[in-house]
Structure 1
Amino acid sequence: MLVRYILPVLAAFAAALPMPALAERVRDLGEFQGVRANQLTGYGVVVGLAGTGDDNLEYLTQAMKGTAGRLGVQLPAGISPGLKNAAAVLVTAELPAFAKPGQRIDVTVSTIGKAKSLRGGALILAPLYGADGQIYAMAQGNLAVGGLGIAARDGSQLTVNVPTVGRIAEGASVERAVATGFDSGEVLRWNLFDADFMTAQRVRDAINARFPQSATIEDGVTLALRLPAGADSRATTMAAIEMLEVTPAETAAKVIVNSRTGTVVINSAVRLSPAAISHGKLVVKIDEKPQVSQPAPFSRGQTAVVPNSQIDAVEKEAKVALFKPGASLSSLVDALNKLGTSPSDLVAILEALKQAGALKAEMVVI
């Protein structure tokens, strides 16, 4: 079902058009290649739960035996300890660029079994691995859980937020640094967040105006930068480049339709060719009022139901809107408002304009 009141909202936006493009910093348009965060993942065990753990799951039992063995406690063979106060978890974290050994990072802990809550639990020392299989951090600490789960004996339950996910602020220490190569590579690449040749050209021109002949375009996303060697001088140059102001190119004309929520967004680059739109509705109403026919007293007749149908057709007055060449979003919204278009018909009209070749925009359904 389409969200109501879309057209008034679009009209409010259209009232502010056209708007001149604003200059943005280079750091807001893209990022240097290799200077990024890396994802870490690990497997661990949370203990100290108040009976809300996994309760004797096989993989948790094996993990606890391994943990006990590292601490010098050997469990007898064939013994499966009851572990309602422990839970098997996955530990995830993000290793920032240039993180050095000894620095602390936040970790997120999530259950992978039948545990009902991690509230009050503590994570036992767990290694965090990178995509290359190497250990980059070690995590341990008490969990902060924002959710709450309560269950009564009669089976009724109450859950607030998500009690099976917790977080440990600065819960992991970095053990290995990730080499970025930003200080030694001959060419340092800078990538746009969104591919656009015009924006790439303007960024190149802005960089070369400040640092002559240092930037070249490789494609619609990437610029190759030849910067002075050495961490100190290169970092200074990178900082200056990031703060340069560039006016990005106007975005491509798009109409975005969210089929799940009914949201329709039309950007300011949408233009219309000459076209006329006629919009009207035919409403057909069928009213069934069956009547019961009773026979005369002492007759041999039978009671019967006689159908009685009333059909009424009403066609609302149709209006025609004419668009002149190069009509903008403002003209489109004004015309649709005059036609009395409901939100449920907006997408159909836009699709018809697109099929007629009058809507100069890409329609994207998400």
Structure 2
Amino acid sequence: MHKLSKIIAILTLIVLSLSFSTAFAAASVVSSRIKDIAKVQGVRSNQLVGYGIVVGLSGTGDSNKTLETLQSVANMLKEFGVNITASSLKTKNVAAVMVTATLPPFVREGDTIDMTVSSMGDAKSIQGGTLLQTPLKAANGQVYAVGQGAVSTGGFAAGNGASSQQKNFPTVGMTPNGAIVEKTVESSLGDSGTISLSLGQPDFTTASRVAAAVNSRYGGVASAANPGRVDITVPPYYRGNVVGFVADLEDLYVTTDNIAKVVVNERTGTIVMGGNVGVDEIAIAQGGLNITIQKNTDVTQPAPYTLGETIKTSNTTTTVKEDKANTIVLQATANVNDIVGALNAVGATPRDIISILQAIKAAGALHADLQII
């Protein structure tokens, strides 16, 4: 009786709160800068990769079973006039590594970028080693940077066997500012008199609002080409200062719009939802069947001065209890926040709530994209 009164009180509060839902939704609308929701097309980074060797390790390098390390060291020594066979080398102080880096837009020759150095053999650690000069290539096969320098892993591996200790991953390290840019990736910005904004989340409404915001500031210079792109003609008085024009564009505020979505993680029981999720009038019954099995051991003693024996017997008791289902009725103006709040109040677990949301979606009453990850 107490739980029923509690449910009625909760539903009463929900109904009273629905009268303020429209005003709350209007007040919760947040505008975002164009800088935070879009980027200028053509302004992009490029991935670089290279193969190199790390030397100077303290016996934690690759073993003689790592053939690529043996061959790399032999080839390197030939460049310095030292002829030696790979089979005669000992490489415990050397490790073969892959080097990766990101080439930012608009960098020039001589600028430096960070590198990530990762062991590709059976080295135990590359901490304290030095990466030898390594060309870094892009997807087109051209060299855009050259890296060299000390490697810092921020971790360690010590001991042997069961008594070993390890912190972080000593086979992966960083070389800050270790790569020097040798070739620039030319990026044109407004050379044709137009620029395009690429939305991070393509949406018809948001693209239209971005174009409207730009036109209200600079006249009819913008048009939404598709949900993910807005084309803008650079005004004549900004032709010599495209960077300043983009900076002014990024400070414009736009009210974004997204599809209603509910994201659930069944592994962790996490539920994340937007505030614009709507639900039709629906009734939800939540209950459960509890089955308890208890096993007891009894001892039977014979009467005194008899030839009987003590006997142990096992008795199993099975108890079945079916909880009374809690029924919740929500009006069509309710949202998922109301549903989750009411279900939490009656003791539903996160996994119960996920199952109920899936059932509401299957019934066609949940007006949102239900995404399960």
Query: TM class, shorter-chain normalised?
Result: 0.7 to 0.9
Change (3 A) 1:210 1:78: closer
Q: TM-score, normalised by structure 1?
A: 0.88
State the alpha-carbon separation in 1 of the partners of residues 287 and 312 from structure 2: 38
Contact (CA 8 Å) 2:38, 2:199: kept in 1 or not? yes
Where does 1:9-158 land on structure 2 (aligned, <5 Å)? 18=25, 19-56=27-64, 57-70=66-79, 72-77=80-85, 79-152=87-160, 156-158=163-165
The question of 1:319 aligning with 2:326 is answered: yes
State the alpha-carbon separation in 2 of the partners of residues 291 and 129 from structure 1: 78
SS at match of 1:139: strand
State the alpha-carbon separation in 2 of the partners of residues 263 and 362 from structure 1: 16
SS at match of 1:308: strand
The question of 1:334 aligning with 2:334 is answered: no
Q: Which has the higher helix share?
A: 2
Give the match for residue 273 of structure 1.
Answer: 280
State the alpha-carbon separation in 1 of the partners of residues 284 and 230 from structure 2: 45
Q: Which amino acid aligns with 1:113?
A: G
The question of 1:240 aligning with 2:212 is answered: no
Where does the alignment leave 5 or more consecutive residues of structure 2 unmatched? Answer: 1-13
State the alpha-carbon separation in 2 of the partners of residues 213 and 27 from structure 1: 20
Q: Which amino acid aligns with 2:358?
A: E
Contact (CA 8 Å) 1:55, 1:85: kept in 2 or not? no
Q: Which of 193, 212, 220 is the matching residue for 2:200?
A: 193
State the alpha-carbon separation in 2 of the partners of residues 60 and 116 from structure 1: 14
SS at match of 1:67: helix
Where does the alignment leave 5 or more consecutive residues of structure 1 unmatched? Answer: 1-10
Change (3 A) 1:47 1:231: farther
Change (3 A) 1:286 1:62: same
C-alpha RMSD of the superposition: 2.5
Give the match for residue 345 of structure 1.
Answer: 352
CA drift of 1:67 comes to 2.0
State the alpha-carbon separation in 1 of the partners of residues 354 and 217 from structure 2: 47
Give the match for residue 7 of structure 1.
Answer: none
CA drift of 1:35 comes to 0.1
Where does 1:244-323 land on structure 2 (aligned, <5 Å)? 244-249=252-257, 251-291=258-298, 297-298=306-307, 308-323=315-330
Larger deviation: 15-24 or 29-38?
Answer: 15-24
Change (3 A) 1:77 1:329: closer
Change (3 A) 1:78 1:206: closer
Give the match for residue 186 of structure 2.
Answer: 179
Query: CA deviation digits over 1:214-273, x for unaligned, max 9?
Result: 221111101122226998422221221111111112x22211111232211122111111
Higher relative contact order (CA 8 A, sep 6+): 1
How many pairs align?
349
The percent identity for this pair of structures is 37
Contact (CA 8 Å) 1:320, 1:339: kept in 2 or not? no
State the alpha-carbon separation in 2 of the partners of residues 264 and 270 from structure 1: 13
Contact (CA 8 Å) 2:113, 2:177: kept in 1 or not? yes
Larger deviation: 173-182 or 221-230?
Answer: 221-230
